[in-house]
Amino acid sequence: MERHTLASLALITILVSLVGAQSNVDDFLANYSTSGEQQYYADTVANWNVAVNLDDDSLPGLAAQADADLAEWEQMMAAQATAQFGDLSSINDTSKKRQLKMIQTVGLNLTSTDTILLSTLIINMTTVFNTNRICPWSNLTREPNCSMPFQKWWRIDPEMFDRMSHSRDYDELAYVWTAWRNISALNKEYFEQYVDLSNKGARQGGFKDTGDYWRSLFESEDFKNLMDQTFQEILPLYEELHTYIRRKLLAQYPGRFKTSAIPAHILGNMWAQEWTDLGDFTTPFPDIATVDVTAEMLAQNYTPLKMFHVADDFYQSLGLIKMNDGFWNNSIIEQPENRSIVCHASAWDFVNGQDFRVKMCTKVNMADLVTIHHEMGHIEYYMQYAKQPLPFRNGANPGFHEAIGDTMALSVVTPQHLQKIGLLNSTSSNEQDINFLFKQALGKVAFLPFGYLIDVWRWSVFDGTYNSSTYNTGWWDLRTKYQGIVPPNDRPVDAFDAGSKSHVIDSTPYISYFFSEIAQFQFYEAMCKAANQTDALYKCDFYQSKAAGDLFSGMLQLGNSQPWPQAMQKITGQQNLDASAISEYFKPLRDWLRNENVKAGDCYGWDYTWPDAVTKNLNTPRCGSTLA
């Protein structure tokens, strides 16, 4: 009897201890959320102020200090979580254990001084990127004209973007392309310091290097192989498009190049990351109008504000959350006349459950209408998971966040939808469908290798495979290997061409965009099924389908409360990243391109041999480094 009494007392003691530990967990997490919202809000405000006023020299220092304050708080909370709960083996609640594990993982663990230095390096690189200009090109003298006032020199946005998109002058394009990379080289020393300091923080945070930390956010044991396998799946589709575009460019610029890899400066984009602006001379059926409603938007007196309301209506039609008053009052949707801002479109969560904003220098055109739907997708995701505990207020993985708005855009750009909202008045035909899919491919299929290789390069920089003396050779090895492009001229060994891309110098991981380009078609296919759309996948418009919206919001509300395969299953019914949906979407175009390329007698590739499993179904000759 006494033994039973002692055992009962021991059990009661254990239960009391567990209840006490549970209470401690609840108190800790409640305090983390309360203080965390204040910390993240202050840091976001400071960085927002820099992005929307590049002319105030006092703001970068304030932002760097805010970053340091946030990092110090995160480290303090991580230390407290580790001291109080150890290895978390005593925590039975899976949700609370997941929260505590996230809190214990600092990522980049740096002192306040080093955090300020790291932030300052990134801000310095961003400032160089956004404030430098190049001399305008003179068609009269066939060279740059540097005698003009500096205020009339070309900025990256809009003047350089415009020339790269619309000029068909091979030499002017080469000048603009090269001049911008000369500016990029100014950031190389900053970037070297950034890599060293970021790696130091990652190692002190328990990771091998910064790339190892970034990949950990995807919670996949073999993430590198997953990405490589996915790329191999879509490579044949990309090769069909590359072969077709190369043939068109050879005709557009006769005698200017003979390489099987395409010169990077003639693809209609500063980074050759998407080829949409080549449509004027590459469209399969040029006599059939392409789906571009820019002229109609202008005719109907669209404004940037109206464009944002059209996007908001789309989300509301699905039963999703409408943009709140704070969004409309605090967002910046046009370039201010009295100051310089970072015009690259972005969505901002101020982490207090109510302040959500977009920053964008909107122009009235179809491309920006699509971008607005993309950025508003981020806002929708922020609002949907705003009631989750603070550690879970993020996307299921970084790629999910990028996929949300793009999933919507797949529906928005269809002729079917544009007709519904009164911007298009045309009937569909096979030729129009091919033109539509071709335009989509110039944006999405052309982007895939670029979206993949940027972080393949950065992972190799972070792990030491590439150092400052091999940054550029490594960059071009990968751009040729994966994308099939080459620079328009011999690049100096000490150049820093990767730094011409904003995401590289502002420390934004990029593999999420590649992941997104695959996942968004999976989401789109699932929503189309929910909306009972039975036509070809590329024709689906789920506008006004509450069933599709309910399916979507069920996934969005999870935030990062579960590993991403569970979020994927919530919307698609399976847990894998799968390229079958994007393949299905573009199948009519791939068949058409295949027929055209074979009929023209073209070879495939750019003197890079991929595994037989990728190319065996082509049964066509592979190109050498130069074309006959």
Q: How far is CA 411 from the centre of its chain?
A: 19
Please tell me the distance from the alpha carbon of residue 322 to that of residue 311, in angstroms, as a whole number: 10
Annotated ligand binding at 378? The verdict is: yes
- 189 belongs to the catalytic site: no
Measured CA to CA, the distance from residue 419 to residue 411 in angstroms comes to 12
Whether 334 is catalytic is no
Cα distance between residue 85 and residue 208, in whole Å: 25
Q: How far, in Å, CA of 596 to CA of 605, rounded?
A: 16
Written as one letter, the residue type at 511 is: I
* Residue 373 annotated as lining a ligand binding site: no
> Residues 355, 326: contact at Cβ < 8 Å?
yes
Burial pattern 382-403, b for ≥16 Cβ within 10 A else e, equals: bbbbbebbbbbbbbbbbbbbbb
Check if the beta carbon of residue 194 is closer than 8 Å to that of residue 118.
yes
How far apart are alpha carbons 423 and 298 in whole angstroms? 10
User: Residue 43 half-sphere exposure, CB side, CA atoms within 13 Å?
Assistant: 22
- Dihedral (Cα; 333, 118, 213, 556), 10-degree rounding: -20
For every residue of 229-278, DSSP letters joined together read HHHHHHHHHHHHHHHHHHHHHHHHSTTT--BSSEEGGGSSSTTSS--GGG
Cβ contact 481:457 at 8 Å? no
For residue 158, is the peptide bond before it cis, meaning its omega torsion is within 30 degrees of 0? yes
Token reading at 495: 């150049």
Alpha helices in 351-446 (DSSP H): 366-384, 398-412, 415-420, 430-444
208 DSSP assignment: S
Which of 375, 380, 517, 525 is catalytic? The answer is: 375
Query: What span, in angstroms and rounded, lies between the C-alpha atoms of 562 and 578?
Result: 19
Name the DSSP letter for residue 151.
Answer: G
Q: Reduced to 3 states, what is the DSSP secondary structure of residue 47?
A: helix
Sign for the CA dihedral angle at 336, 341, 347, 348 comes to negative
> Of residues 72, 503, 584, 596, which has the active-site annotation?
503
Q: In sequence order, what DSSP letters do the residues of 314-359 get, joined into one string?
A: HHHHTT-PPP-HHHHHH-B-S--SSS----S-EEEE-SSSS-EEEE
Residue 550 CB-half CA count within 13 A: 6
Contact of 148 with 135, CB cutoff 8 Å: yes
Amino acid identity of 36? G
Q: Confirm if 559 and 392 have CB atoms less than 8 A apart.
A: yes
Amino acid at 330: N
Amino acid at 113: T
- Please identify which residue in the block is written with the tokens 């102020």: 49
Which residues are known binding-site members for Zn(2+)? 374, 378, 402
Binding site, by residue number, is 374, 378, 402
Cite the active site residues: 375, 503
